Structure 1
Amino acid sequence: MSGFRPVPDVLAHLAGRWRVTRTVRDLAGGEEGRFDGTTVFSRLPEGGLLHEESGTFTWQGVARPATRTLRFLPGHAPGTADVRFADGRPFHELDLTSGRYVAGHPCAADHYRGEFTVLDADHWRTVWRVAGPAKDLVLTTEYAREAETTG
């Protein structure tokens, strides 16, 4: 048993609001930053999800507002996603049918390697290792589903 929770449909699983905590470690310089905020996955009219992240990023003692927008579109295989930047450029595929997935993304001379793991129905994690001439980072993000409110 892998210890990961298989997800038959990544888009259905991610839909909703998530509390986000991210640590950013600069392996070259030793600095560490932190992001605290929320990610909302809302339905797109054409199918898929709009990923909108907002919160506060603290680096070297300075806190700043931070946002990020991605598009999670239906993937080529059932239950998977094609993750795109807000402007439509490809980012990576995402297949959580085994509960774990490793993705790659080249960015200029740097390379991003992301490991996605589903811990249970309400918790998942990403660990991105960014290596190259411009960056030497590890970004670890913990997601916890927020309870839906009515009213």
Structure 2
Amino acid sequence: MSLRSVPQALHPVPRALDHLAGEWRVERTVRDLTDGSEGRFTGTTLFSPLPAPEAAGLLHHESGTFTWRGTARPAERTLRFLPGEAAGAVRVEFADGRFFHDLDLRTGRWTTEHPCVRDLYRGEFEVLDADHWRTRWRVGGPAKDLLLVTEYHRPDRAGGSSGRRAR
């Protein structure tokens, strides 16, 4: 089952770690499909080199504000993006090293699943161009019935910094 509503041209990414490196602006909507409640996260995600001794991979740190039912709170999370089994692909782990999901953007699109206790997270990733990508997570099970849609945009290049690492 596809989570997409409108087909769009995709941007293939031969090496996901190189593409993701740097700073991204983030806007996420979280919709509770049970009661129709909707929340919003706005902030930034920084993909920076992992600290030594982990030479390969990126540390993903997201921080911002999550507003749910009129209450705004600070929110953050950290993930690890490591080289995957296939060339150019990624292994995504939680900060504590537990496996989250694989990610392969070589076609510009990837679908994956992550079981979490009794709920199932079904994810779809789309790269729309060099500076814009999107994720959709449909979460279903006895504890949750959610749709999370996240838009990632590089900071305005006209502003002087794209957030990308120098090559």
TM-score (norm: length of structure 2): 0.87
Residue 2 of structure 1: how far off its partner (Å): 6.4
Cross-structure match for 2:102 = 93
Judging changes above 3 Å, is the alpha-carbon distance between structure 1 residues 90 and 27 closer, same or farther for their aligned structure 2 residues?
same
Match of 2:25 in 1: 19
What is the DSSP-based 3-state SS (H/G/I as helix, E as strand, rest coil) of the residue aligned with 2:17?
helix
Query: What is the number of residues matched between the two proteins?
Result: 150
Deviation at 1:89, TM superposition (A): 0.1
Name the CA distance, whole Å, in 1 between partners of 2:61 and 2:117.
Answer: 24
How far has the Cα of 1:124 moved from its partner?
0.1
1:9 counterpart residue number: 15
Give the superposition deviation at 1:29. Answer: 1.3
Gaps of 5+ in 1: none
Residue 70 of structure 2 corresponds to residue 61 of structure 1? yes
Mark the CA change 1:28 to 1:119 in structure 2 (over 3 Å): closer, same or farther: same
CA contact (8 A) 2:83 2:90 kept: yes
- What's 2:129 paired with? 120
Aligned to 1:28: 34
Report Cα offsets for 1:84-106 as digits up to 9, x if no partner.
00000000000000000001000
RMSD of aligned C-alpha atoms?
A: 1.5
Find the counterpart in structure 1 of residue 48 from structure 2: 42
Structure 2 regions of 5+ residues with no counterpart?
A: 1-6
> Per residue, is there more strand in 1 or in 2?
1
Task: Name segments (4+ residues, structure 1) moved above 3 Å.
Answer: none
Whether 1:51 and 2:60 are equivalent positions in the alignment is yes
CA gap of 1:79–1:33, structure 2 versus 1, over 3 A, is same
| Residue in structure 2 matching 1:109, options 118, 126, 142 | 118
Identical amino acids, percent of aligned pairs = 66
2:141 maps to which of 124, 132, 148? 132
Query: Is the partner of 2:13 in helix, strand or coil?
Result: coil
Which secondary structure does the structure 2 equivalent of 1:12 belong to?
helix
1:9-67 Cα offsets, whole Å, 9 max, x none, are 00000000000000000000110000000000001142100000000000000000000
